Amino acid sequence: MIVGIGIDVCPVARFASAAENERLLARLFTPSERDSSMNRMAGRFAAKEALAKALGAPAGLAWLDVEVRKDDLGKPWFDYRGSIAARIAELGIVHVHLSITHDAGIAAAVVVCEA
């Protein structure tokens, strides 16, 4: 059963401009997430936003409690803990699907949460 769906888009140029603020990057991304291109970082930001929407965007979610990773084949997935893990458990979610894309200067992500 689908518990939540989230989608987000992020203009890469706008994100790159905001990413000049090192303090902002430190609040949004783990160190391993920050070691990437602007396209990928914008996609990761869109993924985190889409996840927050799929979880109902409750107060208290921490950006650093979720990390976007990829498997050996390049498929993205979330590694979560803390506030994110607590919300996922509260909703009875057993699987989180993630898709990220970037094209024509836009990064986009879709998240589907299943119970």
Pairing of strands 95-103, 76-80: unpaired
Stretch 34-38: mean pLDDT, rounded? 84
Stretch 102-115: mean pLDDT, rounded? 97
For 19, the domain range is 2-114
pLDDT 10s digits, 37-96: 899 999 999 999 999 999 998 889 999 999 999 999 999 999 999 999 999 999 999 999
Q: Among all residues, which ones are annotated catalytic?
A: 53, 102
Cα(29)–Cα(45) distance, integer angstroms: 8
CATH number at residue 14: 3.90.470.20
Please count the structural domains in the chain. Answer: 1
pTM confidence score: 0.94
Q: What is the 3-state secondary structure (H, E, C) of 46-83?
A: HHHHHHHHHCCCCCCCCHHHEEEEECCCCCEEEEECHH
